[in-house]
Amino acid sequence: MKSTEIRRKFLDFFKDKEHHIASSASLVPIDPTMLLTGAGMVQFKPIFLGKTKVDYTRAASCQKCVRTTDIDVIGQTGRHLSFFEMLGNFSFGDYYKREATEWAWRVLTEEFRIEKDRLWVTIFETDDEAGDLWRDKVGVSSDRIVKLGEADNFWSAGPTGPCGPCSEILFDQGEEFSCGKPSCAPGCDCDRYLEIWNLVFMQYNRDSDGELHPLPNKSIDTGMG
């Protein structure tokens, strides 16, 4: 499948689910806390924070991104990039975890036809709600749902701003990509279990003192590589 088809299938899927399709925003954001656009959610940040009102509550985009936070590992792994395009769907106080998990699974397994038995799911260690949804509503078997801590499964765009627990979907590239350690499993630092999509359940705003405040509305922010 070509990258053009991947973009098209993704955006068509979410357009069909009544999402506003937004163009990729400038790499230089209108946000004094960021130097470069590093995620699809950046252009929607004022909406998540309740500072800007728009006439839609769902959006999807294919955003050009530049990332520098992990620049020291670029070139050393098969999965870190400085420039890339991020596919994402967003809910601004509209749908939440249930739709986000179900739709992500459908996009991967039905639109992109990725074999289910190569997919794994990670959740934040205390987020039983997400675990239950993956198991009971989406149908992922319990042994494919892995709980990880804050470093892996709590997302924020920077030291301040919207954030929340997240759930990642990983693609098992196969044993030949493994570091070979007996402990190699989802969450390992090697390339075997490749994170292809992160679903962020955005529910807090972190202030400059590091305190978490509930957002006006629980929202969804996703990013797929």
Interface residues with Zn ion (CB under 5 A) are: 179, 184, 188, 190
Nearer CB in complex with Zn ion: 6/190: 190
CB-nearer residue toward Zn ion: 30 or 179: 179
**Residue 4 Cβ vs Zn ion, minimum distance, rounded to whole Å:** 32
Q: Least separation, in Å, of the C-beta of 170 and Zn ion?
A: 12
Minimum distance, C-beta of residue 191 to Zn ion, in the bound complex (Å): 8
Contacts of 66 (CB under 8 A, 6+ apart): 27, 36, 37, 38, 82, 83
Strand ranges for the chain from DSSP E: 20-22, 58-66, 83-91, 119-124, 145-148, 154-156, 161-172, 193-206, 212-224
Token pair for residue 173?
A: 């590239």
Q: How far is the CB of 188 from Zn ion (least distance, A)?
A: 3
Let me know how long the chain is. 225
Least spacing, CB of residue 187 vs Zn ion, in Å: 9
Q: In 3D, which of 164, 102, 112 has the Cα closest to residue 134?
A: 102
Q: Measured on CA atoms in the order 221, 172, 78, 150, is the torsion positive or negative?
A: positive
Cβ proximity to Zn ion: between 28 and 179 the closer is: 179
**Secondary structure letter of residue 53 according to DSSP:** -
Closer residue to Zn ion, CB minimum distance, 26 or 77: 77
Which of residues 25 and 148 has its CB atom nearest to Zn ion in the complex?
A: 148
